[in-house]
Amino acid sequence: MLDKPVFIAGPCVIESFELIDTVAAELKRISEATGAEIIFKSSFDKANRTSLHSFRGPGLERGLQMLADVKSRYGLRLTTDVHESYQAEACGQVCDVLQIPAFLCRQTDLLVACAKSASTVNIKKAQFLSGEDMRYPVEKAREAGAKEVWLTERGNSFGYNTLVVDFRNIPLMQQWADRVVMDCTHAVQRPGAAGGKTGGDRQYVPAMAKAAKVFGAQGYFFETHPTPDEALSDGPNMIHLSDVEKLVRELMAED
């Protein structure tokens, strides 16, 4: 069993350097105040937005430069989503962990490219797969050279516009992964349920995290924003930046 959980946190997408700088500065402060390991996360591109007209981000080159600047300023480890194989090498030069989006977790070329480009690959479990199914993406990444492979639980599709979490997947996936993370904010999404956008219920995020702790989660993923109701992506399920420290402390507390 790993000694301490890891926290992955940041705004869903890079809206501006000012935004990610503000969030990273606060996460650095929280890390120093609590002793928590926090990995900064934000996406340079959201390639799976519901609408063609939704904001996607600054793109690969500009986005990675902004992430590199955050790393230089605050010394936080970084992760970001990789959507296409050609992006993996450049992302691996900046980020410590490469994240495979849930919808893409079976894409062999993407898994192999990320495994060859970073020592740690975090694979999000697809909304349409079981925990047992995730052994195969792990095997692909390991055989391609990844030193560490993490799996992230984020719920399963349950009818239309709704997700449900089977927390048994956490101990189940620990059979294959070096670390199993609970994605507490994407698990409360309501996909496509907000008129061409994804909705969500952020009030349930703390309960999701605490339930995952009971099931032995080794990490927690929170997307966060200073003003989530004004965010350009995933606002309804992101938590307020001002609420992060309290939740981190609760999850790190010994029962």
Give the CA distances from residue 129 to residues 87, 106, 114, 165, 211, in Å, rounded to whole numbers and listed in that order. Answer: 25, 10, 21, 12, 21
Q: Give residue 203's domain range.
A: 6-252
Q: Judge whether 64 lies within some domain.
A: yes
Q: Which of 179, 180, 182, 238 is nearest to 208 (CA)?
A: 182
Cβ-proximal residues to 143 (8 Å cutoff; 6+ apart), any chain? none
Give the CA distances from residue 158 to residues 10, 143, 180, in Å, rounded to whole numbers and listed in that order. Answer: 27, 33, 22
pLDDT at 53: 66
Q: Judge whether 181 lies within some domain.
A: yes
* pLDDT-flagged residues of the chain (< 50): 193-194
Q: Which amino acid is at 69?
A: D
CATH code of the domain containing 242: 3.20.20.70
pLDDT at 255: 66
Q: Judge whether 227 lies within some domain.
A: yes
Q: Judge whether 1 lies within some domain.
A: no
Report the number of distinct structural domains present in the chain.
1
Q: Judge whether 109 lies within some domain.
A: yes
CB 212 within 8 A of CB 220: yes
Q: Judge whether 65 lies within some domain.
A: yes
Distance CA 190, CA 106 (A): 23
pLDDT at 194: 47
pLDDT at 193: 46
151-182 confidence digits (pLDDT tens)? 999 999 988 888 999 999 999 999 999 999 99
pLDDT at 49: 62
